Amino acid sequence: MLIGIPREISDRENRVAIIPSGIPELLEAGYEVVVESGAGSAAHFSDEEYRNCGAIIAEDAVSLYRQAQVILKVRTPSLEEIDLMQPESTLICVLDPWFHQAQVERLASRNIRSYALDLVPRTTRAQSMDVLSAMGGISGYRAVLNGAMALPRYFPMLMTAAGTIHPARVLVIGAGVAGLMAIATARRLGAVVEAYDLRPEAREQVESLGADFIEITVPEQASEGEGGYASAQSEAFYKAQQEQLADCVARSDLVITTAAIPGKPSPRLVTRDMIHRMKRGSVIVDLAAERGGNVEGTVMNEKVDVDGVTLVGHVDHPSRVPVHASQLLTRNITGFLMNMTEDGRLIPPADDDIVQATRVTDNGKVVHDRLREALGHTRAEQPAEETA
């Protein structure tokens, strides 16, 4: 079977699905690999490096999609890219199906089997395939660096002949993978760090990194949803949360928000009134900007001023570290592919929990239960195990 690795065409996307050092493993498994010319350029990998590792170089996307039976991508393909794919081919990528429903419908109508890497379950067996965790760590790291560069003050405490500089105060809201990396990075830079997460079990992880865990009393609700992510809460919950977080936000020099609910808009955690209480020159980095943001006033992919506070809404943090981000993606994607590979062929086991959780379209239908309901589709038949 022939695997195709196209060049990413999304704005600000510098990553590539498979780096040259990942090609030999695919060849060893029995696949052939074709890479679109320039696919790795933005991540600093040349066509020559891919050739030296055994890949074939396709001149353009049309040539690649004409040949490929399995397509490995980073981002959701455009409708135009989907139209270039061969019927009965297989797509593996970060599909983000809840917010790209037109693409999901087109994949089904063209009889393309698709798997969403962002739906990989957070289980022990799937850890090596967990794209969201891998990229979340990079986002948390970059969020602190962006915040430090935008902040008009030092991070660490400095005692000099000219006087003492007090350390910056950093507040991290959300102690998932991105939040924990943000805490660790801010601590390494010398900041005093506080963190909040609605899951009480996050306290131990926060404190193990040297940050103070903030206690907030809110209406009792289940705090952890499917897959280990925080679950959506009621309006009363978020109102109580905002009221008690207000003082913490006001005393912080840098606030980093990371709260995201899979398949839903980001919860609003920081209001304009809370921003108004912050010191002029303070910074907020909103890692949830792509889904509407955790912060009132965030503008996606822009840096804006609100009452003298800088709001950073960049959503391309992993793409700004394309070498290591692509390296991690290669491990994630290859692990996912090998879980379905047998004798150089893609044979997805129908009873595999990872396959079931990530399969979005198959046999000309949308087969993911929750997504199918959101699209108003009737129940699809369970596809039989078959070779792609």
Name the residues annotated as catalytic: 122, 127, 130, 133, 229
CA distance 273 to 95: 36
CB 304 within 8 A of CB 313: yes
Amino acid type, 315: V
Distances (CA, A) of 176 to 130, 228, 258, 336, 374: 13, 9, 8, 22, 27
Contact at 8 Å (CB) between 177 and 351?
A: no
Dist. CA 261–CA 270, nearest whole Å: 16
The crossing angle, in degrees rounded to 10, of helices 177-188 and 131-150 is 40
In whole angstroms, what separates CA 15 from the centre of its chain?
13
The residues facing 34 across adjacent strands are: 4, 56
| Contact indicator for 285, 147 with CB cutoff of 8 Å | yes
Beta bridge partners of 284: 255, 311
At 304, which helix (H) or strand (E)? strand 303-306
CA separation for the pair 307, 279 (Å, rounded): 9
